[in-house]
Amino acid sequence: MEMKNRTVVSEFILLGIPNTKGHETLLFIGFLAFYLCTLLGNLLILSAILADSRLHTPMYFFLCNLSVVDLGFTSISTPKLLVSLCTKSRTISLGGCMSQVFFYHFLVSTECLLCTVMAFDRYVAICHPLRYLIIMNWKVCAILAAGTWISSSFHATILISLTFTLPYCGPNVIDYYFCDIFPVVKLACADTYVIKTVTFTNTGVVPMTCFFLILASYIRIVYSILKMNSAEGRHKAASTCASHLMVVTLFFGPYALIYMQPQLSQVVVTAVQLLGDVVAPMLNPVIYTLRNKEVKGALRKLRGGQTTAR
């Protein structure tokens, strides 16, 4: 009888970023600039790679996938955050909350797996250069890319199903700036042990497995680079990995800090989360552009300029 008298939650209230009262306009301008730069940067990377046939290689194929992930990732929470900063409207429908949870874990898992696949690609290119085109043929690349997207969709579907089959009957205030599993399940009026255990296992096991696979790839890569006789060859091999390593650091760094330091304050956790969700997707295309002559040449070609001679 008590459950029947409870009202089922149809919307949630996002409290947003803590301790920002009076700074909404400044934050709105800053986040809008980050968002627009992210969209522009990743669209330029996609356009440059698609337009230049010299970049139709496995490495840039996976970079295109990463740009698509970043375009989606930054659009999960930033538009809603901008609206709340501008209009002070903090409500989000149940469907909107479900969408944020699904796409957040879908794209986080996809980027995690993509970083692993890109590390494997660099491993093959440096450790087995003569067999690179045989191993990383287009069929293998398509299977690896499709596998990351499909497996991530299953991963996110399981998490969202477990999260929103729980009853939510009040309160409906989420102490965060977007809907994520742990802030949401705190509001469930039922035992959440199973979902918390499954979520912690999935969000911990998948990234840790990917991280150790990337680490193993780079141990082999470093060993192969040290064995090279040519200093120019060592420099070229190292430079092809530097951009990917920076992207991996930007991806794993914030989440490792959040999950490995549970005693962090809400303000610090939010700041670190924003670094991973808003800033990193903007920096990824910058990293690949600044350190990559081929991409810079393709961008010059895209705007009608002449590429430099090789």
pLDDT at 85: 86
Identify the architecture of domain 11-302 in CATH.
Answer: Up-down Bundle (1.20)
**What's the Cα-to-Cα distance from 5 to each of 2, 49, 93, 171, 180, rounded to whole Å?**
5, 58, 22, 14, 27
pLDDT at 284: 84
Task: Show me where the domains of the chain are located.
Answer: 11-302
Which has the minimum average pLDDT: 21-30, 118-127, 161-170, 261-270?
261-270
Confidence of residue 291 (pLDDT cuts 50, 70, 90): low
**What's the Cα-to-Cα distance from 128 to each of 62, 120, 220, rounded to whole Å?**
19, 11, 11
pLDDT at 48 over 70: yes
pLDDT at 22 over 90: no
- Residue identified by tokens 């209009």 is 87
pLDDT at 310: 39
State what percent of residues in the chain have pLDDT above 90.
33
Query: Is the pTM above the cut of 0.85?
Result: yes
Please state the rounded mean pLDDT for residues 121-133: 91
pLDDT at 275 over 70: yes
Which has the minimum average pLDDT: 152-156, 246-250, 257-261?
257-261
